[in-house]
Amino acid sequence: MLTLIDVAAEFGLGVAVDLLQGHLSSFDFLPSWVLTHHSRSLFTDPKVREGLAAYVDTLGRAVAAKDNVFALTLGNEVNNLWPSNPTTPEDSHAWAAELLGVARAAAPGLTVLHSLYDDTWYAPGHPFHPADNVDLGDLTTVHSWVFNGVSALDGPLGPATVTHADYLVELAAAASADPGRPVWLQEVGAPRPDIGAEDAAPYTRGLLESVGANPALWGVTWWCSHDLDRALADFPEREYDLGLFTVDHVAKPAAKELAAYLAAPRPRPGLRPALRCPADLRAEPHRRAEVAPGSPFHTEWVRRRGTGPVAIVDPARAADPAHLAARGISHVL
């Protein structure tokens, strides 16, 4: 780990370290003392929690000494692990809060994060809640993958598909009690077959133009740098072609669009109207299906987004002038 961080520094790269790798490329990575005959829940077993705290403390102290490390993330999409690691909303919250506290104490100069995939926002019974995503950690993270059903709504270049990242950033901004809390679009890419090879470039351009001017956006991390070599067996088919570069380091069309976007001047965020969310996602997580892709609310937001940026505002703050002004919202539709 430390050697890899040093290599990244040689090329001027900053590093955010995932402490518990969790879910990656459709595989779950878990400590051996959770698996096999132990059958312990990562989130609820006291001994596992104790072991994870010691691990986070040890690794956090080690990587904090590296100048190019800027963040610690508890793990990648840890909420993907819950079916085989039983938990409850209360346990999920306590687990993340405890380990974030350990990470802060071990590496006080680093940003610490809680990384969750989008069932947090869309699945009513999911045991990781929107409030955890926007309250725990120093930034909110969202992962925007259009194979969650979005691309089936209107195809690879349809407005719902191209604006899904912007929609998730807006849901996260709306759910936060802090109107200035930044949102990191931590995973996004052009997955096949949802986004065909011929559509990757215009999809990438449309996605970046949609989300790039969002005032809540902190940054974008594209998944991933390189295609997987097909000599590596047993990955799901879509995992092989997600790279910006081929296995032989040739830039693909999406990489060229990303480079062109970064080289061009970008518009400054301006005032925009907001659409009132039908549910208070912090207080009513059981109503998450009301904002899921294809819901009436999502459909209306996509329609209005076709004429320009549209914020989303929580119903509890829709009449708060200070909150609206802080988020650059001109009026509530």
What are the tens digits of pLDDT across the range 143-162? 999 999 999 999 999 999 99
Choose one of 270, 291, 322: the last residue of a domain: 270
Going by pLDDT thresholds of 50, 70 and 90, the confidence category of residue 189 is very high
Q: pLDDT tens digits, residue range 270-313?
A: 899 999 999 999 999 999 999 999 999 999 999 999 999 999 99
Q: Which residue has the higher pLDDT, 194 or 23?
A: 194
| DSSP single-letter state for residue 201 | H
pLDDT digits (tens, 9 = 90+) for 46-60: 999 999 999 999 999
Read off the pLDDT of each residue in 91-105 and give the average, rounded to a whole number: 97
Contact predicate 324/276, CB 8 Å = no
Burial of 277 (0-12, 13-18, 19+ CB in 10 A): buried
pLDDT at 34: 80
The total number of structural domains in the chain stands at 2
pLDDT value, residue 33? 80
315 within domain boundaries: no
pLDDT, tens digit (0-9, with 9 covering 90-100), for 8-29: 999 999 999 999 877 777 777 7
Q: Does residue 32 fall inside a structural domain?
A: yes
Angle between helices 46-64 and 2-10 (to 10 degrees): 40
pLDDT in tens, 223-250: 999 999 999 988 888 899 999 999 999 9
Q: Flag whether 330 is in a domain.
A: no
Q: Do 265 and 121 belong to one domain?
A: yes
In contact, 109 and 71? CB cutoff 8 Å: no
The verdict on 202 and 229 lying in the same domain is yes
Q: What is the mean pLDDT of residues 59-85?
A: 93
* pLDDT in the model for residue 83: 86
CATH number, domain at 241? 3.20.20.80
Place 84 in a pLDDT band, splitting at 50, 70 and 90. confident
Do 184 and 141 form a contact (C-beta atoms < 8 A)? yes
Domain hosting residue 42, numbered range: 1-114
Which pLDDT value is given to residue 127? 97
Average pLDDT over residues 310-326: 96
> Within this chain, do residues 180 and 236 fall inside the same structural domain, yes or no?
yes
How far apart are alpha carbons 241 and 197 in whole angstroms?
A: 9
15 plus 108 within the same structural domain: yes
What pLDDT is attached to residue 37? Answer: 66
- pLDDT value, residue 323: 97
Co-location of 85 and 191 in the same domain: no
User: Between β-strands 183-188 and 272-276, what pairing exists: parallel, antiparallel or unpaired?
Assistant: unpaired
